[in-house]
Copies of this chain bind each other. A is one copy, B any other.
Amino acid sequence: NKGNITAMRVVCAPTLILISVTICCSLTEKQLNGSSPNIIIMLMDDMGWGDLGVLGQPSKETPNLDAMAAQGMLLTNFYTANPLCSPSRAALLTGRLPVRNGFYTTNAHARNAYTPQEIVGGIPKDEILLPEMLKKNGYISKIVGKWHLGHRPQYLPLEHGFDEWFGSPNCHFGPYNISVRPNIPVYNNSEMIGRYFEDFKINLRTGESNLTLMYLMEGMDFIRRQTEAKQPFFLYWAADATHSPVYASKSFLGKSQRGRYGDAVMELDHSIGQILSLLQNLGIEKNTFVFFTSDNGAALMSGPQESGSNGPFLCGKETTFEGGMREPAIAWWPGHIKGGAVSLQPANVMDLFTTSLALAGISPPDDRMLDGLDLTPVLLNGSHQLDNRPIFFYRGNEMMAVRLGQYKAHYWTWSNSLEEFKDGVNFCPGQEVPGVTTHDQKEHTLQPLIFHLGRDPGEKYPLSVLSKEYQEVLRSVSAVVQQHRKTLAPGMPQLNMCDLAVMNWSPPGCEKLGKCLKPPKSAPWKCNWPH
Contact = CB atoms under 8 A, between A and B. Distances in A.
Interface of A: 50, 53-60, 74, 76-77, 256-259, 261-262, 303-305, 309, 311-312, 314, 326, 342, 344, 406, 429-433, 452-458, 460-461
A257 B312 contact: no
Given A50-B312, A259-B455, 15 more contacts: A50-B56, A58-B77, A58-B326, A58-B453, A58-B457, A59-B457, A60-B74, A257-B455, A258-B454, A259-B452, A304-B455, A304-B456, A304-B461, A309-B457, A431-B431
Contacts of A309: 312, 457-458
Contact of A454 (B54, B59, B458): B59
Contacts of A456: 304
B344 A257 contact: yes
A312 B431 contact: no
Q: Is the interface of A mostly helix, strand, loop or mixed?
A: loop
Nearest to A305: B455
A259 B453 CA distance: 10
A76 B62 CA distance: 14
B455 A261 contact: yes
A76 B54 CA distance: 12
Nearest to A458: B430
Given A50-B312, A309-B312, A430-B314, A256 B454 contact: yes
A451 to B, nearest CB: 9
Top 6 A-B residue pairs of the complex, sorted by shortest distance between their CB atoms: A56-B56, A257-B454, A430-B460, A259-B455, A304-B456, A304-B455
20 contacts: A54-B54, A56-B56, A56-B57, A56-B312, A58-B326, A58-B453, A59-B344, A59-B454, A257-B344, A257-B454, A258-B455, A304-B456, A304-B460, A309-B457, A311-B312, A312-B312, A430-B431, A430-B433, A430-B460, A431-B431
